[in-house]
Chain A
């Protein structure tokens, strides 16, 4: 399977614990995105990387959240001191980055998501 892979698919944690999610994008996709989705809502943008550089961060990404993509391949999203409000599905997506003039054609490809339940 050459799609976007996320691990773990499900995580239950106690409030105050740290959790880390991993995302392996489609190979040769140099853009990688993290979104958060709660029940009945659409995906909310959190952050994205172009290669190893984190180019944009949403204000939703509080200082308890940190994302890395150290070698420009896989990425991790860590949530420190989890709160019940962090319960959501965390979606990773990737896309190729075309030139500016061709970027209008970019499609992003999603993984199956990582469900987080904070109890």
Chain B
């Protein structure tokens, strides 16, 4: 498969808690990106991590990449109700364009 697979499929947490989502893939990649999608809307880019990077931060987001395990994780700290959305990882393999997994549906309860 040339796409990432997110885990878990659904996650429900209380406001203020941290949310962790994982992505696994099977091919070699150039980079891995995380996107967010509010219900019925388009996808919004969150963060990109290149294959030679291990960790990146952006605000309350932290992304890690382990190319030996072909996996990535997205951590959202101090979650808010507004973080409720679906989160997708997307991989860009060499000579191919972006492929998306089925996503993790995050619900943050106030």
Chain A contact residues, CB within 8 Å of chain B: 4, 33, 35, 40-45, 48, 56, 89, 91, 93, 103-113, 115
Can you list 20 residue pairs at the A/B interface with Cβ under 8 Å? A4-B42, A33-B97, A35-B100, A40-B102, A41-B103, A42-B88, A42-B102, A43-B100, A44-B100, A56-B97, A89-B40, A103-B92, A104-B30, A104-B50, A106-B92, A107-B33, A109-B45, A110-B44, A111-B42, A113-B40
CB distance from B18 to the nearest CB of A (A): 23
Tally the A-B contacts, defined by beta carbons under 8 Å: 56
**Contact A107 B42, CB 8 Å, known A33-B97, A43-B100, A48-B97:** no
Interface status of B41 (Cβ within 8 A of chain A): yes
**Contact A103 B30, CB 8 Å, known A33-B97, A42-B101, A108-B98:** yes
Contact pick for A45, options B51, B99, B103, CB 8 Å: B99
Question: What residue of chain B has the Cβ atom nearest to residue A115's Cβ?
Answer: B40
Question: What residue of chain B has the Cβ atom nearest to residue A4's Cβ?
Answer: B42
Size class of the B contact interface (CB-based, 8 Å) = 20 to 34
Interface status of B71 (Cβ within 8 A of chain A): no
- B42 to chain A: which residues have CB within 8 Å? 4, 91, 110-113
Interface status of B43 (Cβ within 8 A of chain A): yes
